[in-house]
Structure 1
């Protein structure tokens, strides 16, 4: 009886702990919700890009040139979303991705649970970094040495 119980525990404990670990922390779930809300607004042509920029994106050092660049970047994302069924977009957390997909990302001290990667039909659509209830970055760029990082504005 003891060996059977031990055997069953050995089989089911990893499954139970794995199921719990995929849930994500409340902070991570909040980050995914913020990302979904951002994408829904981006896909809605009735929501102006300057409104999205002012309400949904953190801009620490605003100036006209930066706003023009960010609006153009948002326009590119919007154009890309037009041909997609946004209900099919998958929102994946940094920790849910295979190691090979994140090994070239340098978090630079940023919280990885706030890094959300959007996939459409198993292809990376865009990457978002969420901070303080807003989008802190929608720009993941190479910084050399084959590493990428999120650029905040």
Structure 2
């Protein structure tokens, strides 16, 4: 597993010896550039020194929207359950368990506030809703 460390040179060089990919930086502008570059690569964990993280907090949030690093190899997508339509009125920040509420949605149907958690139970036997169904031109082949 690849792990990246972004921060002041004196701090990050120590991590190089234990196999981490280090990105020493001198200013927050360069940290933002590196963060955007490596977030699209295969780095499931990115450590950022506290000083730099405070300077680029908005950029960190922008990159991680809609995803939660649940385990070192599992990125959890935050999704709205089926048949819930409305306006997001609150998104919480912080650390939560999968059963704690992380967002509030105002329903466009009846105006009620609906709670969204990371753990959701979706109906199994009811077909998924979709906007458009595409015709198939080949069969699905699994395996080799």
TM-score bin (small chain): under 0.3
Q: Which has the higher strand share?
A: 2
Who wins on radius of gyration, i.e. which is larger?
2
Q: TM-score, normalised by structure 1?
A: 0.18
Q: TM-score, normalised by structure 2?
A: 0.18
Q: Which has the higher helix share?
A: 1
If asked which structure has higher relative contact order (CA below 8 Å, sep 6+), I would say: 1
